[in-house]
Structure 1
Amino acid sequence: MNASPSSGTRVLDRAGLLAALATFACAVAFPVLTAVHSGVHLQPTDAPLSPAEFAAPLHDRPEAVLLWMGFDALFVLAYVVTFTAARGLTVSRVLGNLSMGAMIVTGALDMVENAVLAVHAAQAAAGEPFASVPAAALYTVAQLKGTAATAGIGLLALALPTGTRLLRAAVAAAAAFVAVTAVGVAVPALAPLEALPILLLTGLLAAVFAGRLRAAAPGRGPAAPAGPALPGGAAVAGAAG
């Protein structure tokens, strides 16, 4: 028997909630890893670094780099699922699809970046490091990834409804990410600040997904107001805002 549309919506909301919480947790973990393993950077755009400074941890501290890669692998999966589920919140099918596509491209570029770093770190851990690190190629991939993420989250901000306080706050957080990322390109030392709007946005999306699940729970009374209708008949829970 095929699942009903409402069942499919609940599955998507549940996936979005769990993925948003995982994205939030990883975003919190990264500053902790930075404090514990200072000098280890996931990409050359993290801070103004010479190629030698960026490559040094790949050769000298490969175990720390591989730990970062483990967290980042979970982060990539989590944010791709989060923003795929967020497509179900949008009121514009075209903008929602474009946003989801851009975030999938972001995840793919992130995985390429991680694969290169993990291979270099694993080789160093095995005692046979590569002679050089393709810093220019990694910088290019990192910039493309940042551009794709900016486009995806910016399009999501345009596609989300604004009928509740939570959704309006999510739109504001998405807009802040776009602004901070653009500033980070112009002033690389400020690039790490993009973690703040991502924390806020994923936390707000988790709250929106949780509200929708509560509103759709079996046996919930009809008194709960519904938010604006979404494509496919779903609604944003008014109780969330």
Structure 2
Amino acid sequence: MTARPVAVPLTPAARALYRAGLIGALVTFACAVAFQVLSAVHADVRLQPTDVPLPADAFLRPLNDRPEAVLSWMAFDTVFVVAYLTAFAAARALAVSRTLGALSLGAMVTAGALDMVENAVLAVHAAQAWAAEPLTTAPTMTLYAVAQLKTAAATTGIAFLALALPAHDRMLRAAIVAAGAFVLVTVAGVALPELAPVEALPILLFTGLLAGVFTRRLKAGPLPDPATPAQAV
């Protein structure tokens, strides 16, 4: 006779949270793919000043000459921010440490707020240029500072989540490895900006794996509650 733990029923609140996390992870994944397509189609448009250091005039030129491309980026990036915040809010429920989960979500909310500030600055300048009022200066230093702070906050949030996730199966272990890869590549990218394009790969892997974790939780319910007495079979 063996003992089998009793599975805790998936509550409506938990189901809604996992479903939101799944949608958020999938949309984040899709936006990350869309960014690669936009980068290929609009190779001259650089919207992340920390990725490739540029002279002020080279950074300003696409804001004046390609405002429609800049605004397209901003539309996708707005959806991207909403999606990754949704995914990380749901991922907090996966954490085995509430403290680390809370710190992770707080860091990601900070990153999202900075991302929206960055988007607003770029969108306003692009819209102004589209209104036939070309810009003569760009807030390059402000954008550098905001982008760097955003990157630091996102790296911190993903690092805390990686430390908080359980490692009891292959998918979660793979997600932890992907999160660690993102942290390493992003930190290295601060010193070597040419590594910026490589950052997309761990993001795609991590969000894809999170989507898989949420899908499995929706199908199978949460993990057995260790506090529940075992039943005899």
TM-score (norm 2): 0.91
The question of whether the paired residues in 2 share the 8 Å contact of 1:102 and 1:149 is answered with yes
CA distance in 1 between partners of 2:224 and 2:144 (Å): 42
SS of 1:49's partner is coil
Deviations along 1:23-46, one digit per CA (max 9) or x if unpaired, are: 000001111101111111222012
SS of 1:46's partner is coil
CA distance in 1 between partners of 2:12 and 2:23 (Å): 17
- Return the offset for 1:192: 2.0
Deviations along 1:133-182, one digit per CA (max 9) or x if unpaired, are: 10001000000000000100000000000011000000000000000001
CA distance in 2 between partners of 1:194 and 1:177 (Å): 6
What's the counterpart of residue 177 of structure 1?
A: 182
Q: Which runs of 4+ in 1 moved over 6 A?
A: none
- Return the offset for 1:193: 1.2
- Return the offset for 1:124: 0.3
CA distance in 1 between partners of 2:91 and 2:103 (Å): 12
What's the counterpart of residue 85 of structure 2?
A: 80
SS of 1:197's partner is helix
Q: How many residues align?
A: 220
- Return the offset for 1:53: 1.0
After the TM superposition, which residues 158-169 of structure 1 pair with which residues of structure 2 at under 5 Å, given as runs? 158-169=163-174
What's the counterpart of residue 109 of structure 2?
A: 104
Matched, 1:133 2:138: yes
CA distance in 1 between partners of 2:214 and 2:84 (Å): 14
Percent of paired sites with the same residue? 63
- Return the offset for 1:50: 1.5
Matched, 1:28 2:40: no
TM-score (norm 1): 0.88
CA RMSD across the alignment: 1.8
CA distance in 1 between partners of 2:225 and 2:198 (Å): 34
SS of 2:216's partner is helix
Matched, 1:90 2:95: yes
- Return the offset for 1:69: 0.6
Match of 1:206 among 211, 220, 229: 211
Matched, 1:142 2:147: yes
